[in-house]
Amino acid sequence: MSRYSGQIHLLVAVDCIIFGFDGTDIKLLLVQRGLKPEKGKWSLMGGFLQPRESPEQAASRVLKKLTGLEGVYLEQLGAFGDPARDPVERTISIAYFALIDIHQYEKQLSYEYHAEWFHLKKIPDLIFDHRKMVDGAKRQLRYKAALHPILFELLPPRFTIPQLQTLYEGIYDTSFDNRNFSRKVLSTELLIKQKEKDKASSKKGAFYYKLDKRKYKANFQAFLNFIPNPDKLLL
């Protein structure tokens, strides 16, 4: 097999920024690094690209190894290639972010990696440039959520509108008017109202809804203006 002459060969890695929602808070899944340097410190879950796999396949493999998950929302964030980002070898990392419902999958986490969920406002110090990746993923998530209904990927099969509002308020670190939020989300016609209510938070209770997956897929690119004045919330 021929090679390009005079070129230096580099390592390529993937890192997964895994966001989860527990019904109250947005959280980030971290692991304790098992290798030197920085062994035992908090890190994103990652791994090296294998010869016969694409970056997306590698990210899916890493995600499955940690959580047992397949087929979850996974999106490429970008490449991180500062020459000094990894003190061991020159390594370029391609970062991906994933969205999962914590309650549905928390029992599947691999404890081999000492995985733990952290509130987005209480993220510990991370190795290398992983904090930069997380900050970039948060900005990208806010941008995409203002245009597309991707946050539904974080919800359980049945959810209430107050629960959905809590999710959006957590992502944008702001508060929305209850009536306006409810009116706006119902106007998308993406939700199917259920007969049952969640009465855990009040006597009156709140109706459960399910996502109309057919309309969700058909209207994924037509969710504009769901978030009022999104430009003010994207920083």
Residue 3 lies in a domain: no
Q: What confidence score (pLDDT) does residue 130 get?
A: 98
Integer Cα distance of 23 and 162 in angstroms? 10
Whether residues 114 and 34 share a domain: the answer is: yes
Whether residues 20 and 44 share a domain: the answer is: yes
Phi first, then psi, for residue 205 (nearest 5°) are 80, 170
Across the chain, what does the average pLDDT equal? 87
Q: Which residues pair with 202 in a beta bridge?
A: none
Q: Which residues pair with 43 in a beta bridge?
A: 31
Whether residues 115 and 156 share a domain: the answer is: no
How many CB atoms are located within 10 Å of the residue 32 CB? 14
State pLDDT tens for residues 118-130: 999 999 999 999 9
Q: What is the full DSSP assignment across 99-144?
A: EEEHHHHGGG--GGGT-EEEEGGG---BSTTHHHHHHHHHHHHHHH
State pLDDT tens for residues 129-185: 999 999 999 999 998 888 888 899 999 999 999 999 999 999 988 898 999 899 988
Question: Residue 92: is it exposed, middle or buried by C-beta count within 10 angstroms (0-12/13-18/19+)?
Answer: middle
**The whole model's pTM is what?**
0.89
From 86, 113, 145, the end of a domain falls on 145
